[in-house]
Chains A and B, each alone.
Chain A
Amino acid sequence: MKPYLTLIFLCLFFSSKLFASTQKLWFTDQSPDRALVKKMQMRHGGYVHVVDGIDVKQLWLRQGESLAKSNYVTSAIGEYVQVDVQENINVPKIDSETKQQSIRFPMPDEGFYNSYFIERLVNNNTLVVMSAKAETLKHNCRNGHKYDRNLVKPQKWSGAPLDIVRLRLPEEDFHTRIRSGTQLKFLILHYGEAISGVTVKLETKQGWINSTESDEQGIASFQVIQDNFFDAKKAEKEGKKVERGHGGRVRIRDSYLVSAEHKTSEQGSLDGLAYNKTEYTISTTGRYYPQQLASKSSEQALYFASAGILIMGIGGYSYRKRRIKPFKEETFDEH
């Protein structure tokens, strides 16, 4: 076989593998390079670079079947779009410092920034539009917390072929954490229009999977369950490597990957290749934490407070008693 035929064969083989329906594409802010992490600073929205006093976010593309079975993408051809807090559309800078493909964009203002990567390819007469989305937060407590609550609202971009917009929880602010038991709602948009009947799948890093379809308003709901959160102590006893965050803290959190797939009978051609149907996919990630009260006890707290009251009461009483000097009559000889 001639070399160029071999190359074409390999390209076709890998592209079909790459765009098989089980493959998903998403952004992550976890750097593949540990040395790079040390140069970055931790903020409420994750690690950032600080350039001339402005937070600069770096996102990497990952691809795979699931969060657990995925790799960093080293090369991807597509369109990068970034939507800032004011809903301005920008083109982020593609970073060339790492071999894994990543983008960088500044986050000067408080609020949420959306990033998209959109790849279009015709495969087996089907136009596959595969998107990755990341919603990143810029918040610094130094800027206070009496902010405009409108900033908490999700950004929308009508140019997204398929979009997953996480609807906010009641009273959500920049410090709100998604916790197990929370009803997560995602709005599915197709070029800015809500669409129903789209298959939406949510899977956690631990492997819990649930899928549903978007309703008439284009909303898909999931209740996040408390699946197997990582037991660091047990893992350490078993001699397994435990990932620790800043200060050696074991992060008690899990990630979820939510993806949507929408098929249409749109026809046309792309780069001279005709297609008679179109398949839109998008994936985005988020984090969730155990239920706040799952590891807390008010009953035990009241025992401790009661013990404090009791000890103080008895201690104070005995201290006072001890200091009372017994009456001692003094007699003077007046004569």
Chain B
Amino acid sequence: MSIKSRIDRVDLRHFRFWFQLAAFVFLVYGGRLAIDLGNSLPTFACGYNSDGTPGVCYLLPLQHQLAQPWSRLFSPAGIAVLSGFGLFVLWFVVLNKAWCGYVCPLGTIQDWITAIRKRMGIPYSNYSDDHFNKLKYIKYFLLLALIFIPLAIGGQFISHDWGVPFCKICPARMIIPAFNGDFSQWTIDFTNNTKMALTALGMFITGLFLAGSFIKKRFFCFFCPMSAFHFIFSKLSILKLKKDGSKCTVCGDCYRVCDMQIKPIADDVVSVDILKDDCILCLKCVAACPEQGALKVDVLGKTVFEATRGGFSKRMGIEKNDD
């Protein structure tokens, strides 16, 4: 059996579990081994995890940099912003949105909460189509806010107390350091009204995150501005999720396994590049597809993993060795 056939028949659930676990350990504790990947990682390697993180989520330095005085931001010194952004794009180009599905520690925690729910035999919830289509814009609103609020600080329109606004409300700030025994972020800051409101909102969202992830798969990813930011640059990536509509029977298996409830993955038989803004590139859709070559993953135009009947049968436990 060729390597390609072996990959196509891989037990994706197990592979993903171990990959996510390794990425989680690396991004939450790797800093203690003096590993430093810089400040431009396209995933929630939370900067508030101080010594634990081997690199920092790009959203933190981005908000910091955009809050510089405009005289500095729009001067040659602003090149630092561009260089940080360039590094972010370079990291992102490699894995595309698989940063969310395979690397993001906050995403992994949500998957672990989902696993607990499954063990308890509690069914999950989904949004209605109407709610899905309305709520999906929240992540773009948050993305715009995390760009324009720091810019407004730099322009001296609002106070510096609004600094790193998204980090103040991001549950990763509370949850990731907690895995290193650091609960110092689990506080409301009463220094001033702005900080009090933002930190209180952050704690409230942490509560929503914990309960929401228990009810809805990948609850927070639906609202994550990093996901929206990824999607803007997803065309640049070397990793692509592709669909051959002519081979699709619209059976809906891909939609049923999708944690993000993306309907076009089943319904859209026209688009070739099928990656949608909510996609976390977990590839569960590819693994669940029974149609040969209907869904596939390409790296630089070369297919590395695709839906096969054999792979589907093996994963479903229908056939053992038939390709």
Task: Please give the residue numbers on chain A whose beta carbons come within 8 Å of chain B beta carbons, in ascending order.
Answer: 38, 41, 50, 141-142, 144-146, 245-250, 252, 292-293, 295-298, 300-302, 304-313, 316, 319-320, 323
Contact = CB atoms under 8 A, between A and B. Distances in A.
Nearest to B76: A53
Interface centre among A50, A300, A305 (most CB of B within 10 A): A305
Contacts of B35: 146
21 contacts: A141-B64, A146-B31, A146-B34, A247-B163, A248-B160, A249-B161, A295-B189, A298-B183, A298-B187, A300-B200, A301-B187, A301-B199, A304-B188, A305-B204, A308-B211, A309-B208, A309-B210, A311-B208, A312-B215, A316-B125, A316-B212
Given A146-B36, A305-B206, A307-B204, 9 more contacts: A141-B61, A146-B31, A245-B160, A249-B160, A298-B186, A305-B210, A308-B206, A308-B207, A320-B215
Contact of A246 (B69, B158, B189): B69
Nearest to A147: B36
Contacts of B209: 308
Interface of B: 31, 34-36, 38-39, 61, 64, 67, 69, 71-72, 77, 80, 84, 125, 128, 153-154, 156, 158-161, 163, 183-184, 186-192, 199-200, 203-212, 215-216
B212 A312 contact: yes
Contacts of A311: 207-208
Contact of A312 (B36, B163, B189, B211): B211
A249 B67 CA distance: 13
Nearest to A50: B77
Contact of A295 (B31, B69, B191, B216): B191
Contacts of A313: 211, 215
Interface centre among B204, B206, B207 (most CB of A within 10 A): B207
Given A50-B77, A301-B188, A302-B186, A247 B67 contact: yes
Contact of B204 (A252, A308, A316, A323): A308
**Closest 4 pairs between A and B when the two form their complex, measured CB to CB:** A308-B207, A247-B160, A312-B211, A304-B203
A298 B35 CA distance: 31
Given A146-B36, A301-B186, A248 B156 contact: yes
Contacts of A145: 36
Contact of A320 (B80, B125, B183, B186): B125
Contact of A144 (B38, B156, B199, B208): B38
Given A247-B159, A316-B212, A316-B215, A306 B39 contact: no
Interface centre among B156, B184, B186, B216 (most CB of A within 10 A): B186
Interface of A is mostly: helix
Contacts of A298: 183, 186-187
Interface centre among B61, B80, B211 (most CB of A within 10 A): B211
Nearest to B162: A247
A312 B208 contact: yes
Nearest to B158: A247
Contacts of A146: 31, 34-36
A144 B191 contact: no
A308 B208 contact: yes
Contacts of A312: 207-208, 210-212, 215
Nearest to B190: A295
A311 B205 CA distance: 11
B216 to A, nearest CB: 7
Nearest to B183: A298
Interface centre among A145, A248, A301, A307 (most CB of B within 10 A): A301
Nearest to A317: B215
Contacts of B189: 295-296
A253 to B, nearest CB: 12
A298 B186 CA distance: 6
Contacts of B153: 247
Contacts of B184: 292
A296 B38 CA distance: 30
A120 B85 CA distance: 53
A41 B72 contact: yes
B212 A304 contact: no
B69 to A, nearest CB: 7
Contacts of B128: 323
A38 to B, nearest CB: 8
Given A248-B156, A306-B207, A308-B208, A297 B190 contact: yes
Nearest to A146: B36
Contacts of A142: 39, 61, 80, 84
A323 B154 CA distance: 46
Given A41-B72, A297-B190, A144 B39 contact: yes
A296 B187 contact: yes
Nearest to B186: A301
B77 A41 contact: yes
Nearest to B163: A247
B27 to A, nearest CB: 15
Given A304-B207, A316-B125, A297 B188 contact: yes
Contacts of A249: 159-161
B77 A297 contact: no
A145 B199 CA distance: 25
B203 A308 contact: yes
A302 B174 CA distance: 11
Contacts of B69: 246
B215 to A, nearest CB: 4
A264 B64 CA distance: 51
A301 B72 contact: no
A141 B39 contact: yes
B200 A304 contact: yes
Contacts of B163: 247
Nearest to B187: A296
